[in-house]
Structure 1
């Protein structure tokens, strides 16, 4: 029965670490109403872990590993680009795209058995996303230009009265 649960070359510890990092970052994004939520985040971290771990198990050549790593970085860059959009002349979703890119990095770190380091980096990313948001909200000088909060800068259009 234990053979059934063996997922070599992957590990359950790696899979659970991927799920934890993805859940934490996805929860932060989802609570803010951003395009990348919990499920997507877990799948990005886990997907990069799977591809990188598979590459390391198929070849002992570190150049092969570097090629796969480079392809993941490029491919996930396109995935992140899909998160960005333009609204009223301002580009939105850049932070979410950067988080997607970083999630892939976490998956690769976990694939090389640096799970503890991945969890620590995940905590630091959460600090950047939550803590620096609080700093930006505190100091008005940090809320200029593109860093102005969308909701506060948008004026509701006046609807003319139907009677005149």
Structure 2
């Protein structure tokens, strides 16, 4: 029980406390990193291990400098600011939404857990990591249950292809908005017009924002939406 609450530097002594705390930092990074790796998320197993391990080592070095009369808080403060740059690099903005905020927040939290290990509290760090993994699992289930999963809707575009130029514009819009369209069916209809049918998610606003771009195109003469059978 002492290992869960007390400072390992006091309980184990040097050098065993350093080895145990480094191991605890690696374990913490592995627990969260494996979960993110399984979900194919940015900042996976290797990144999380390096974040917790690096934060722990910097905190240990800060403590060694304090023993020699240095300021213990200086390196720790630089970890907080430095990890912010790493988190900012994980955030991406496309034409639909901002992505990577959860990854950036996870990097921030894991750096804090690594610092906790470096300060000597490996037990609380591991316990917090398990609690964090459980919390993320519960939040994912709540989001899927109450915020609703994607469901497919079918949309048909009737447009003047103008020798293929309109099709190129449509493809560019679908690519810009990262639309996972599934199977696309394209047929020629009367009056020289072309008909294109595709599937998309109609459950979330950012998944159907591309329809506004289609509505603004004078080449598109009609847009018909029909709810699919797979909800």
User: What's the offset of the Cα at 1:92?
Assistant: 0.8
Contact 1:44 1:104 in 2 (8 A): yes
Summarize deviations over 1:24-57 as a string: whole Å, max 9, x none. 1101111111111111111110001111101111
> What's the Cα RMSD here?
3.0
CA–CA distance in structure 2, aligned partners of residues 126 and 45 of structure 1: 15
- Map of 2:110 onto structure 1: 103
TM-score (normalised: structure 2): 0.58
Q: Is structure 2 residue 83 aligned with structure 1 residue 91?
A: no
Matched, 1:18 2:32: no
Aligned CA distance change for structure 1 residues 26 and 82 (closer, same or farther; 3 Å): same
Q: TM-score, normalised by structure 1?
A: 0.79
Distance 2:18 2:45 in 1: 21
- When residues 130 and 31 of structure 1 are mapped into structure 2, their CA distance, relative to the original with a 3 A threshold, is same
1:129 has 2:136 as partner: yes
Q: Does the aligned pair in 2 maintain the 1:84–1:91 contact within 8 Å? A: yes
Cα gap change, 1:12 to 1:137, in 2 (>3 Å)? same
How much has 1:8 moved relative to structure 2? 4.6
Structure 1 or 2, whichever has the larger Rg, is 2
- Which has a greater percent of helix? 1
- 8 A Cα contact 2:33 2:47, kept in partner: yes
- How far off is 1:124 after superposition? 1.5
| Higher RCO, Cα 8 Å, sep 6+ | 1
Note the residue ranges of structure 2 that are not aligned, 5 or more in a row: 1-13, 154-177, 189-193, 195-231
Local SS of the residue matching 1:11? helix
Partner of 1:138: 145
In the alignment, structure 1 residue 72 sits paired with structure 2 residue 58: no
Does 2:59 align with 1:48? no
Instruction: Note if 1:38 corresponds to 2:63.
Output: no
- Between Structure 1 and Structure 2, how many residues are aligned? 151
Q: CA deviation at 1:85?
A: 0.4
Structure with bigger strand share is 2
SS in 2 for 1:128: helix
Task: Find the aligned partners of 2:115 and 2:132 in 1 and give their Cα distance.
Answer: 16
Segments of structure 1 that go 5 or more residues without pairing to the other structure are 1-6
Contact map agreement 2:113 2:125 (CA 8 A) in 1 = yes
